[in-house]
């Protein structure tokens, strides 16, 4: 991986505002000196992400995630430290020098995939907008009401009918067929070689929620060509269950209205944008998932699901509702009739007609029971049994007990049955989901998940050191960082010492540049958020911390010396041990057999009384 000089990393970090960086993905509200929002790293229902503009760090006090702007992008986009620095540098116009030690073999694999997909996006776009072979595709889009400016806005493209159109051009630009295959753009032939996955199709680039092109959707121009829609396969950079088409471009309208419209097709998103309906997203050729819902919850309080009127569309709505309910979004549903889709609807009735339709969308339970009645005969016990099972499997996704209780009550009333029956069905559905489910997204796998806070004195001392470089220097003059009793605090104090030796600041945000450990990043962020210690009126004098650390260090050395002598079979003298450990001369003689352990207890007791934790 290419190396970036430390001073350049610091320049980038000092040039960005973490509030601006995180606001691209999470809605933040100002609370005092900090900003609060829903944490994107776990299924957050109440804002637990705390962002400090002053310290340039973030911390979630629910799941433990924390760090600086680089760490946020690393964890959110699953990219390397170098990639995160490069991305922020591009945003602020800083040119990064490449280290002489870098080579193609060292470059991050995901970065190569991103470059490959981005090259393909530009190629497809050129073929649509500039190449004669794209004329038929342009005519098709214009016939669907898509203007040239909208083609540009969504970076629409065209894949020619050639079997190796992209392969040939990409190969001449240094992109191997194997890399194109990994990016989902080429397919291996049975007898050797490769061919283009997309041929004679309109191309819809799919962007991640961070704005990077990760995949493509494609629509056939020839009515006889099957399948009609073809999507990229999943790759190391593309997870269709966690990607919503249009979210990156439409995130601001969604955030401002606090509502999202979810449609089925890419063309629906583009067509609605043409009519200035922009709070719209589409799933990437899959049923809605909890990850989709979690993404939307960052920007919206509610969502309207708009589905085609055919049976498949309605079934898709039902499959997605459970996942959407888990996010606690307020869900409403529209089912189009007469074979219409959002594209045809908005072209016939305009944006006003479409907005009126979504505003009058049916509440969630009205839709569910309308669908259940169309599928089951509720006058029979078998029909009611199947209906209870269907509805209970949806209710089981609800995480809030109060909401779940109201849903159970409503179900019982609508079906004319006892609440106990619905409660039992929901409990069974819940157990079934838990039994078949792996660890939840909120489960932490880092060291911070089981991390104990450690001695309060050490925690507070680390906090003061990160808050002020001169304080750090004073501490390091008198305290050996190896004598912090907590292993994580030893690591952090060692990082502080290294920074000060090299003449660098030891602030929390700067220390986070040097760590790839997510657990460590979370702890550094948590310590830095302990602002109460920085109030001079309530602060314990620094010298008290230092004296206590020195005494603790002395006692630790005494214990180590005593253990060493015991192991050697030698008789121990407490005063000699103190002299050796403290590098001073003994002041008197003591009977070792009578005073050996007692003296140590007295020392510890005196220290504890004088400097209570």
pLDDT of 516 strictly over 70? no
Q: Is residue 350 part of a domain?
A: no
Do residues 24 and 137 share a domain? no
For the range 535-543, what are the long-range contacts, defined as Cβ-Cβ under 8 Å and sequence gap of 24 or more?
539/464, 540/460, 542/464, 542/471, 542/474, 542/475
Mean pLDDT for the chain?
81
Number of neighbouring beta carbons within 10 Å of residue 276 = 11
Average pLDDT value for residue range 87-111? 65
Q: Which of 283-297, 382-396, 571-585 has the highest mean pLDDT?
A: 382-396
Token pair belonging to 392 = 């209970």
Per-residue confidence (pLDDT) for residue 444, from 0 to 100: 36
pLDDT tens-place string over residues 421-475:
999 999 888 877 655 443 333 333 333 333 334 477 788 888 888 888 888 998 8
Average pLDDT value for residue range 495-524? 81
pLDDT tens-place string over residues 196-227:
999 999 999 999 888 899 999 999 998 888 89
Q: Is residue 397 part of a domain?
A: yes
Q: Is residue 584 part of a domain?
A: yes
pLDDT of 313 strictly over 60? no
Answer whether 453's CB lies under 8 Å from 425's CB.
no
Per-residue confidence (pLDDT) for residue 7, from 0 to 100: 80
pLDDT tens-place string over residues 64-85:
889 999 999 988 877 778 888 8
pLDDT above 70: percentage of residues in the chain: 80
Do residues 57 and 118 share a domain? no
Which of these three, 238, 262, 292, is where a domain ends? 238
Q: Is residue 424 part of a domain?
A: yes
End-to-end CA distance of the chain: 45
DSSP conformation class of 240: G
Confidence band of 591 (pLDDT split at 50, 70, 90): very low
Which of these three, 47, 72, 103, is where a domain ends? 103
Confidence band of 510 (pLDDT split at 50, 70, 90): confident
Do residues 33 and 97 share a domain? yes
Do residues 76 and 134 share a domain? no
Q: What is the CATH number of the domain that holds 207?
A: 3.90.980.10
Distances, alpha carbon 100 to alpha carbons 2, 3, 81, 127, 490, in Å: 8, 8, 18, 37, 34
pLDDT tens-place string over residues 276-296:
999 999 987 777 887 888 888
Do residues 57 and 164 share a domain? no
Find the domain containing 428 and state its range. Answer: 376-435
Per-residue confidence (pLDDT) for residue 530, from 0 to 100: 66
Which of these three, 43, 77, 103, is where a domain ends? 103
* pTM, rounded to two decimals: 0.62
- Rounded Cα distance, 540 and 464, in Å: 11
Number of domains present in the structure of the chain: 4
Do residues 68 and 128 share a domain? no
Q: What is the CATH number of the domain that holds 86?
A: 3.90.580.10
């Amino acid at each position: 991986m290419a190396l970036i000089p430390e001073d350049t990393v610091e320049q980038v970090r000092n040039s960005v505002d973490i509030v601006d960086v995180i606001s691209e993905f999470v809605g933040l509200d100002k609370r005092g000196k900090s900003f609060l929002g829903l944490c994107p790293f776990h299924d957050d229902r109440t804002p637990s992400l705390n962002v400090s503009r002053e310290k340039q760090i973030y911390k979630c006090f629910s799941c433990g995630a924390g760090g600086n702007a680089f760490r946020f992008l690393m964890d959110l986009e699953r990219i390397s430290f170098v990639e995160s620095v490069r991305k922020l540098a591009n945003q602020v116009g800083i040119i990064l020098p490449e280290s002489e030690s870098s080579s193609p073999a060292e470059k991050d694999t995901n970065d190569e995939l991103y470059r490959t997909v981005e090259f393909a996006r530009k190629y497809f776009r050129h073929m649509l907008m500039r190449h004669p072979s794209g004329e038929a595709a342009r005519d098709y889009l214009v016939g669907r009401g898509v203007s040239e400016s909208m083609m540009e806005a969504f970076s629409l493209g065209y894949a020619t009918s050639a079997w190796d159109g992209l392969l040939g051009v990409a190969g001449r630009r240094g992109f191997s067929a194997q890399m194109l295959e990994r990016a989902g753009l080429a397919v291996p032939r049975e007898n050797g070689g490769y061919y283009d996955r997309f041929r004679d199709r309109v191309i819809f680039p799919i962007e991640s929620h961070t704005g990077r092109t990760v995949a493509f959707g494609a629509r056939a121009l020839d009515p006889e060509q099957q399948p009609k829609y073809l999507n990229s396969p999943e790759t190391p950079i593309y997870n269709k269950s966690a990607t919503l088409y249009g979210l990156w471009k439409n995130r601001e309208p969604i955030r401002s209205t606090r509502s999202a419209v979810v449609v089925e097709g890419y063309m629906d998103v583009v067509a609605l944008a043409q009519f200035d309906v922009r709070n719209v997203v589409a799933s990437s050729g899959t049923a809605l998932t909890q990850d989709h819902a979690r993404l939307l919850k960052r920007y919206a309080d509610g969502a309207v699901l708009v589905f085609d009127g055919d049976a498949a569309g309605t079934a898709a709505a039902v499959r997605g509702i459970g996942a959407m309910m888990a996010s606690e979004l307020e869900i409403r549903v529209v089912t189009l009739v007469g074979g219409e889709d959002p594209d045809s609807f908005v072209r016939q009735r305009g944006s006003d007609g479409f907005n009126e339709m979504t505003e009058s969308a049916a509440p969630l339970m009205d839709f569910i029971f309308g669908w259940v009645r169309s599928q089951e005969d509720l006058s029979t016990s078998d029909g009611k049994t199947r209906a209870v099972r269907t509805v209970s499997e949806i209710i089981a996704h609800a995480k809030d007990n109060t909401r779940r209780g109201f849903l159970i009550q409503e179900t019982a009333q609508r079906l004319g049955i006892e609440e106990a029956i619905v409660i039992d069905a929901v409990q069974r559905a819940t157990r079934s989901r838990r039994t078949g489910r792996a660890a939840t997204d909120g489960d932490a796998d880092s060291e911070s998940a089981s991390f104990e806070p450690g001695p309060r004195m050490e925690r507070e001392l680390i906090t003061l050191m990160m808050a002020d470089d001169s304080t750090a220097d004073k501490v390091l003059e008198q305290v050996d960082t190896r004598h912090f009793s907590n292993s994580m605090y030893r690591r952090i104090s060692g990082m502080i010492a290294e920074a000060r030796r090299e003449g660098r600041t030891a602030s929390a945000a700067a220390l986070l540049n040097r760590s790839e450990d997510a657990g460590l990043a979370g702890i550094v962020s948590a310590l830095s958020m302990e602002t109460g210690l920085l109030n001079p009126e309530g602060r314990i004098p620094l010298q008290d911390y230092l004296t206590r650390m020195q005494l603790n260090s002395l006692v630790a050395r005494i214990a180590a010396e005593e253990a060493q002598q015991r192991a050697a079979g030698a008789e121990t003298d407490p005063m000699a041990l103190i002299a050796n450990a403290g590098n001073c001369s003994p002041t008197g003689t003591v009977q070792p057999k009578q005073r050996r352990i007692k003296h140590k207890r007295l020392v510890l007791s005196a220290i504890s009384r004088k400097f209570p934790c």
